[in-house]
Structure 1
Amino acid sequence: MLCQKLMRLSVVVWAALLLTPIAGAEEPTKNSPLATQGPKPEAIVPPSAAQVQSAIDRGVDFLLADQRPDGAWGSAENTKGLNIFAPVPGSHYAFQAAVSALALSALVNAEPTLTDERAERADAAIEKGQTWLLEHLDRVRRATPDALYNVWGHSYSLQGLADLRRRAEGKPELQATLLGAMQTQADMLARYEFVAGGWSYYDFDYGTQKPGDAPFSFTTATALVALKDAMGQGVEFPQKMIDRAIASIKRQRYPDFSYAYGEYLKMAPRYDINRPAGSLGRSQACNLALRRWGDPRVTDAVIETWLNRLFARNGWLGMGRKRPVPHESHFAVAGYFYYYGHYYAALSIEELPEQDRPYFQDHLANILLPLQEKDGSWWDYPFYNYHQQYGTAMAVTSLVKCQRNTPKPQ
């Protein structure tokens, strides 16, 4: 989400930026040395597999206990004095769909690691949540001309449905139903593509049928990661839209592989939120999206450099964690980037050769384990009644990715 106190460029300047050359024929083929230069974290004592599994179990228990009677997760309850701009009811339909899909993904990912008793409870919750998701996704739409939180709902529902479809192996009818739902969510992303390519969740400047405001790097990356998985399972999506989304992220990439918050800030590389500390929560997602879509410049060395930077400079994200005002922390970091950034770091680790992963898995787990709350949840930003749910879901999935090939507990 974008805090409105962030500097906005004028409509005239933004229109001029749209006319600047996109990444393509003149794009550099080699990276600047800055792309692979950065700090490295101090040595740690790696958490044991048992410690990681215990945290996963507690996180799963929280999600199982927090599931609503209808099968969803999250709600518009627990408001505070300062709430983000969220027109009702459409914004909350989108938030609940996105959070529920993330929770389902976490349970699906964690299920093979659980004891039989816990896995049985998780199975029941997944079935109930899957039914809710299939029944309620159709109501996720653009809330108002200026609020497009539905983009998050479409992206994470697409990811959740992809995980559910893998789980439904051997059930062709269910897989067909899930694939149909995935195609619908992909079609909705196509419908709400921004004029410049890619996606955002605000259109404050125009409110046009095809959103005309600036696409955001990380929102576009989120959609591209989900679309790559879905298209691998048979979902169809226009390649020209993929190409435009990729070009949008590349226009926002700086030589050190920091990424602008949104295209309206791409010509302000030294603006706080665009610098490496401000980009910590975005670079992982943007690198992952470009890597999965074949960008040769996102090398193993780039991924490793930014993982090391995330671990070594984690304090820049940490100081924003749990602050109630978006972007009030140093480098304009907002609290809700914390588990988002670590979630995409976990997925980025999977892009590395298997023998190179343990070092990064250990560092990531070492960061996440101490932050688990007494009730088993993780959260980073007070956000109605969605924050514990998405934080826990992202942390559980991240920790599952940190586990190596260990036997299932009995």
Structure 2
Amino acid sequence: MTKSWTVVLVAGLALGVWGSNARAQEDAQGSIAQTAITHDEVVRMGLDVIVGLEENETSGQWPYEGVYRVGRQIPVGYKVGGTAIACLALALSPGFADDDARLQAVGRGIDFIAASTSHALMNPEYDGGYDVRGWGYTYALLLLLELEKRSLIPDDRRDVAKAATHFYLSAIQSTEIPQAGGWNYARGQGRNAVSPASPFMTGPTLQALFLAASLNYDVDSGVVERALASLERGRAASGELVYSGDATERRAGGVPGATGRMLIAESTLFLAGRSSQANIRGALDAFIVHWDHLEARRAKSGTHEPPYGVAPYYFYYAHLAAAQAIELLPQRERAEYRRRVTDLLMKTRADDGSWNDRVFERSAAYGTAMALLALQAPSLGSTPRWVQPLPPATPEDSAKNP
């Protein structure tokens, strides 16, 4: 059962405790005064939910649970990815340095993510097919890089975290789809099989690589450029991003089912200088207008149901993508979009302070983490832009510029 909200919780997505944005702070405080629960209480309750959903209390695991199983077990890729997303929310929310429960939980999460590099089903040398280890690679890398950027990795875990960072970065780059570029959890059989890329997976994976490059890790520009090209090829004339592959290969399935993909793809392309604020604005407008089609599939059984093929797991993914996209718009436009997206997000908050877009209880850790990350998007800053490295200088260049 969800709370009935007659007014929006916040006009911005962040409070001053996060806030480098004074206007967002003022708008937020003005709206919070009209509600029965404060923004701080929403965040605190969400963090308590995530801490309380740690598997077996001290395992350092927050598995994402869907219908896919390996040997009737949740695949390790979902365990690693879900843990990384939960730890991102725990670590990046206010007060982390003074919250021993969160500090200890994230430390255990780092240990699990680092230890998982030796798991047989996280090995990048695999033969394709339907496999979700790539989700683990992407979100583990994002977590470790965000913690490194903010100097939040404990001294006694720094070496194992660094080794894991290099592992996940290498795994991502070595598992790009041959020829087509990008990534997809549903690939053809055979390591060298050419398969269509998934924007749902390629967008966040590219953003992890952008962040890695900004922190001076060695990122293969060819991998990035091929993946960006795959996103561009997936655009239909309507602005929709097809589920996978090239938009010219099939009839588009409809914008209402594609808004999450549109948001992540246009934001990622924009960060690489290959999209526009107009495209981002269009994707945000489509998300708001067609939100009911996403909500109709939230926490329902099944996956890609007609008429638009919306699966439940797009729901909070799309909200976070929307919150991040807003921060790429001109400053003057952000407050209203923040208000609209926050209002939609708060409509699905449960009475216990959680968010969940699946029928599985443990996946509330994922949904709640995605919601909290969306709520603080203004203060987290956008993903670094991708700047293609210059080619190495030739002898002729040296002669021209002695």
- Aligned to 2:343, which of 366, 376, 382? 366
Amino acid at match of 1:183: H
Amino acid at match of 2:241: Y
> What's the secondary structure of 2:258's corresponding residue?
helix
Q: 1:322 to 1:121 in 2, by over 3 A?
A: same
Structure 2 equivalent of residue 291 of structure 1: 270
**C-alpha displacement at 1:136, in angstroms?**
2.1
Structure 2 equivalent of residue 80 of structure 1: none
8 Å contact kept, 1:151–1:189:
yes
**C-alpha displacement at 1:209, in angstroms?**
1.7
Q: 1:144 to 1:243 in 2, by over 3 A?
A: closer
User: 2 CA distance for matches of 1:303 and 1:379?
Assistant: 26
User: 2 CA distance for matches of 1:281 and 1:130?
Assistant: 28
Q: Deviations over 1:328-362 (max 9, x none)?
A: 14311111100011111111122223343221111
8 Å contact kept, 2:9–2:343:
yes
Which 5+ residue runs of structure 1 have no aligned equivalent? 1-43, 77-82, 406-410
1:7-406 aligned within 5 A: 45=8, 47=10, 48-49=28-29, 50=32, 51-68=38-55, 69-74=58-63, 84-88=67-71, 92-112=75-95, 119-139=99-119, 140-141=122-123, 145-168=128-151, 177-195=160-178, 196-203=180-187, 205=188, 207-263=189-245, 266-270=248-252, 272=253, 275-295=254-274, 298-382=275-359, 386-401=362-377
**C-alpha displacement at 1:245, in angstroms?**
0.5
TM-score by length of 2: 0.78
**C-alpha displacement at 1:121, in angstroms?**
2.4
**C-alpha displacement at 1:84, in angstroms?**
3.2
Which 5+ residue runs of structure 2 have no aligned equivalent? 1-6, 11-27, 33-37, 382-402
Q: Deviations over 1:131-168 (max 9, x none)?
A: 22222233223676412211111011111111221232
8 Å contact kept, 2:113–2:164:
no
TM-score by length of 1: 0.77
User: 2 CA distance for matches of 1:186 and 1:170?
Assistant: 18
> What's the secondary structure of 1:70's corresponding residue?
coil
Q: 1:242 to 1:145 in 2, by over 3 A?
A: closer
8 Å contact kept, 1:58–1:376:
yes
Q: 1:71 to 1:276 in 2, by over 3 A?
A: same
8 Å contact kept, 1:46–1:363:
no
Q: Deviations over 1:224-257 (max 9, x none)?
A: 0111112211221211111111111111112332
Once structures 1 and 2 are overlaid, which stretch shifts more, 394-403 or 241-250?
A: 394-403
Aligned length: 346
Q: CA RMSD in A?
A: 2.8
Identity, in percent, stands at 23
Amino acid at match of 1:134: A
User: 2 CA distance for matches of 1:269 and 1:165?
Assistant: 43
Amino acid at match of 1:220: T
